[in-house]
Amino acid sequence: MMRSLYSGVAGLKTHQTRMDVIGNNIANVNTTAFKSSTINFSDLMSQTTQQASGPNATTGTGGTNARQIGLGVKTGAITMNIDGQGSAQSTGNPFDIMITGDNFFVVNNGQSNFFTRDGSFYVDGAGNLAMTSTGYNVMGWLLDETTNEIKQDTVQPLRIMSDANMTYPPEATYRAKVAGILDQNDTDVTSDAGKSVNLNIYDKLGYSYTVRFILKDTTTDGQYTVEVDKILDSENNEVDISGLTGLFGTDGTSVSDPQKISLNSAAYAIDGKNFTVGTGTSAVTYDLSKIVNGDAFKAGTDLYDSSDTSVDKTITVQGVIDLVAKAFGYQGSSDDFLKLNYTDPTDSTKVYTFGDLLLNQAKGSTPSLVSAMTESDTANGTTDAKVINSSGRSYNGSLLSFNASTGAFKNIDSGKSVSLNLSKIITSEGTSSFDDISIDFSDMSMFNNNGTSTVSATSGDDKGVGSGRMLGDMIGVSITQNGQIYASYDNGMTKCLGQIATAAFANNSGLSKEGDNLYSATMNSGEFDGIGVDITASGGYMTTGVLEMSNVDLSSEFTTMITTQRGFQANSRIITVSDTLLEELTNLKR
């Protein structure tokens, strides 16, 4: 038989293999992250009919080349274009990830690690990041429980939707700032009520509260008092801070702030222990002795007790005190009214608070509110009105000072910040749900702003540290270019959940295809060390919301298909012609 017949058969088989490679490439033209392959041919072998000879110096003849007849073709190599980057296909799915670079995702089927460029992932029912097609777990690194940073150790499944990750713990506020312009001509600041500034805070359980500060003018240029008026919870209920000392600043500090306090005799009257509200048939009389217990006022929550049926028995002790302050025309809180100072005109060393005067009035002692009203003042109410000269007021808080000539902040007490000691608010269990809050006042100023102050309070420092937060629920997940996975929460916080690890090999083409867009390591690709690498270490990066497309070039595949077809046809002609020659040979016997 003719050798050319077998050469033609070998050529047909090899070109058929080439067509198989081309067909597989074209079939996977839309397969995610598919890598095309190419085939190279090599000659099969040659039959030597005469060996080569060298020149003969004795005979003077030259050498001859070997005489060899080729016996066909075989597949030399099938090479995968595994490092060829496919184009990006936008999906909008945040869990679809494309790798730019030569690295691979690491996935695991529960027993073995595989490698893939297919970044089509989703979160399964157990909260693990997994391949959409196979459900294999995506592997990566978790956070070190001690340092709370990524620990590059043996890769583990990335469980990003665990119960611990679904919420972000609350934190109590421990820093705050009060800033803005405090205009000395602001009528709110100069009024008895003062200017209110609210600070929103959180406790350790994530409950929100509002701390209301009151800023008031003093008779000293550039000096103002800052006091805590009240603390309200999220339902606007007042937190009980009565009796607490050292809550904010200094307790019982006196300031020079003289006032003349007078009783509105047209609507109120005080006769001994009887305090009358209104006139005529609508008048209601309260027995002031009912609001005291020894040398102190009864708790504000106690109901007022009176045998007089005309008295509103639902009013609290605090309510009666509020009416007394209102009767004397005081615009501020009743607590501030009770802190006003009265100096005995006959003995300047004897100083009483208005609270002392009211207690004495209720007990029938002197000096009392009535006995202190000695000086007539036609400027206050009627011509026979009596006034009490207030020699100043005391306050529980801090003294805010500015440079009177420049308006710049000077200090609050002796520094730039003061502590709001909320840890003094103790629960029935003997603990506090609050942290103390350091409040910085150094960004305040006392400039002319047309009588309008712009003072406001915010939780946290300039960088937002210490602002506190409520309990946060997860509202989104994002993946950075280095594969780190971050969760965002509705309390404004973010948290790193882990990092997607990648694998790098010395010879990517040496990987073995395992189907389902997966590869496994071989002896010629290099081994996977079980840890992996950060993708950015080799200049690569990840992009979310896109997938890598197949790198098959259809124009190239169709061109190669044409040459393959022609090669197949040519080899078939070898067999046809060889058959004709054999036919002629058999015809010789005729």
Contact between 386 and 378 (Cβ < 8 Å) = no
Q: State the amino acid at position 169 in one-letter form.
A: P
Band of pLDDT at residue 294, cut at 50, 70 and 90: confident
CA geometry: angle at 76 spanning 70 and 80, to 5°? Answer: 160
Q: In angstroms, rounded to a whole number, what is the distance separating the alpha carbons of residues 484 and 496?
A: 7
What the block records as the tokens of 450 is 């047309």
In this predicted structure, what is the pLDDT of residue 590? 67
In this predicted structure, what is the pLDDT of residue 585? 83
Q: Is the pLDDT of residue 314 over 60?
A: yes
CA distances for 53 relative to 47, 50, 59, 61, 68, angstroms: 17, 9, 13, 10, 13
Q: Is the pLDDT of residue 148 over 90?
A: no
Residue 495: strand pairing partners: 487
Q: Is the pLDDT of residue 393 over 80?
A: no
Name the CA radius of gyration of the chain, rounded: 46
Q: In angstroms, rounded to a whole number, what is the distance separating the alpha carbons of residues 36 and 54?
A: 47
Q: Is the pLDDT of residue 247 over 80?
A: yes
Average pLDDT for 324-332: 84
Q: Is the pLDDT of residue 382 over 50?
A: no
In this predicted structure, what is the pLDDT of residue 293? 86
pLDDT tens-digit map of 493-504: 999 999 999 999
Q: Is the pLDDT of residue 384 over 80?
A: no
Contact between 502 and 532 (Cβ < 8 Å) = yes
Q: Is the pLDDT of residue 334 over 70?
A: yes
In this predicted structure, what is the pLDDT of residue 301? 66
In this predicted structure, what is the pLDDT of residue 133? 93
pLDDT tens-digit map of 192-234: 788 999 999 999 999 999 999 999 988 788 999 999 999 999 9
CA distances for 356 relative to 307, 346, 361, 500, angstroms: 26, 17, 9, 71
pTM: 0.71
Average pLDDT for 423-442: 93
Flag the least confident range among 76-80, 88-92, 202-206, 293-297. Answer: 293-297
In this predicted structure, what is the pLDDT of residue 500? 97
Q: What is the mean pLDDT of the chain?
A: 89
Give the closest residue to 328 by CA, choosing from 282, 268, 376. Answer: 268
Q: Is the pLDDT of residue 298 over 90?
A: no
In this predicted structure, what is the pLDDT of residue 381? 45
Band of pLDDT at residue 456, cut at 50, 70 and 90: very high
* Domains present along the chain, CATH in parentheses: 3-83+552-589 (no CATH), 93-168+473-548 (no CATH), 175-251+395-459 (2.60.98.20), 264-372 (no CATH)
Phi, then psi, of 562 in degrees rounded to 5: -65, -50
Contact between 152 and 140 (Cβ < 8 Å) = no
Band of pLDDT at residue 376, cut at 50, 70 and 90: low
Contacts of 552-555 with CB under 8 Å at 24 or more apart are 552/25, 552/26, 552/28, 552/29, 552/34, 552/36, 553/36, 554/26, 554/29
Give the closest residue to 186 by CA, choosing from 220, 212, 215. Answer: 215
Q: In angstroms, rounded to a whole number, what is the distance separating the alpha carbons of residues 139 and 189?
A: 62
Residue 210: strand pairing partners: 200, 232
What the block records as the tokens of 140 is 């990566």
Residue 477: strand pairing partners: 487
Q: Is the pLDDT of residue 124 over 60?
A: yes
Q: In angstroms, rounded to a whole number, what is the distance separating the alpha carbons of residues 520 and 553?
A: 25
Q: In angstroms, rounded to a whole number, what is the distance separating the alpha carbons of residues 557 and 550?
A: 13
Query: Which residue is associated with the tokens 């009490």?
Result: 388
Q: Is the pLDDT of residue 490 over 50?
A: yes
Share of the chain above pLDDT 70, in %: 95
Flag the least confident range among 97-111, 119-133, 365-379, 412-426. Answer: 365-379
Q: Is the pLDDT of residue 305 over 80?
A: no
Q: In angstroms, rounded to a whole number, what is the distance separating the alpha carbons of residues 267 and 534?
A: 81
Band of pLDDT at residue 308, cut at 50, 70 and 90: low
Q: In angstroms, rounded to a whole number, what is the distance separating the alpha carbons of residues 102 and 508?
A: 8
Give the closest residue to 357 by CA, choosing from 365, 374, 369. Answer: 369
Residue 37: strand pairing partners: 80
Average pLDDT for 271-298: 87
CA distances for 274 relative to 287, 356, 372, 507, 537, angstroms: 5, 17, 17, 101, 86
Share of the chain above pLDDT 90, in %: 62
In this predicted structure, what is the pLDDT of residue 378? 47
Q: Is the pLDDT of residue 526 over 50?
A: yes
